[in-house]
Amino acid sequence: MREKTAKILILLIGLAAAAALICIGFLSGAISLPVFSCSDAPSETEPDLPLVPKMPIKGQLSVYFIDVGQGDAAVLISPSGKTMLIDSGESIYANRVQKFLQTLGVERIDLLVGTHSHSDHIGSMPRIIKGFETGGYITTAEDIESDYSSAVETALNEKGVPIRKVWCGDIVEWDEECGITVISPILGCEYSQYDANDGCLMLRIEYGETAFIFTADATVHAEQLSMFHNEKELFKANVLKVAHHGSTTSSSIGFLETVDADIAVISVGASNPYGHPDFDILSRLNSAGCSVVRTDERGTVAAFSDGKSVTIEYQKPER
């Protein structure tokens, strides 16, 4: 018994001595732990793989749907090298978007687009505005203000970037070879005052015989108003950025059939809490004859148009 007590005493003394040595080590600086701040902690802000599936092709329209988890961010480089960023994801993805633009060699964003005031679309935009020279900013004229849109406006004003709020029918200039058409919202139509998705900005971008439709999070109601007030031909596109991350609030069968896209890109986070993309939407896209490409499965998705057809490249190729 006495022997056991002595053993325990020796063990305790040993532990105390080890603890004292570690304390001295820390105090003298001989031992240090890695220090993580919010900005350099390994997190979703750091890309896990090279994010650029393929560099922009000169003389083509290059479009990148950046993997920003549950959100939207797309970079467009025109055939002559003009740049556009449509949305930029949540604030935690600011680094990723910034690095992505830098990797592409973008120093100036000629046209910055904020489709609506939700954080998964414009949360990181103040950081982007601070980091890049920006030619101009457009957003929907039907927007419902939020803390995020106020922060974007402040950042734009600080840098003297002109802001334009646009309706369907307004002309947006970017590159002579690429036409931009605002297809939603429609002036004079009634949109929800509570749901910013309803009045969000929808764009069609055309190059040669090819076209892309950027729907942001537009609702079925917005799709219907837009189709009622515009020519059917305006919706035809090779590539559709599927609305609202594949939610059933969007992508009516009539809209998908009118767009008649070959490729449907879903910008969506892996295992997101909303269950996006919805199974119904995936089967609707399938029935509409679209090949579906998802950022949660493929990472960043790139599309290249030579004016006649569109080719697709992924960050994570199919095996």
Residues of this chain that interact with Zn ion (CB under 5 A) are: 120, 217
Question: Contact, 177 vs 218, CB < 8 A?
Answer: no
Minimum distance of Zn ion from residue 108's CB (angstroms): 26
Comparison of 72 and 175: residue with beta carbon closer to Zn ion = 72
Q: Which residue from 156, 174, 216 is spatially nearest to 83, judged by alpha carbons?
A: 174
Comparison of 127 and 241: residue with beta carbon closer to Zn ion = 241
Helix (H, G, I), strand (E, B) or coil at 129: helix
Minimum distance of Zn ion from residue 63's CB (angstroms): 18
Q: Is 204 left (phi over 0), alpha (psi -120 to 50) or beta?
A: beta
Angle value at C-alpha 257, between 180 and 308, nearest 5 degrees: 50
Comparison of 67 and 120: residue with beta carbon closer to Zn ion = 120
Minimum distance of Zn ion from residue 94's CB (angstroms): 16
Question: Contact, 131 vs 97, CB < 8 A?
Answer: no
Comparison of 120 and 206: residue with beta carbon closer to Zn ion = 120
Comparison of 137 and 148: residue with beta carbon closer to Zn ion = 148
Rounded CA separation 280/251 (Å): 10
Minimum distance of Zn ion from residue 263's CB (angstroms): 20
Minimum distance of Zn ion from residue 245's CB (angstroms): 6
How far the first Cα of the chain sits from its last, in Å, is 66
Tokens of 121: 């679309």
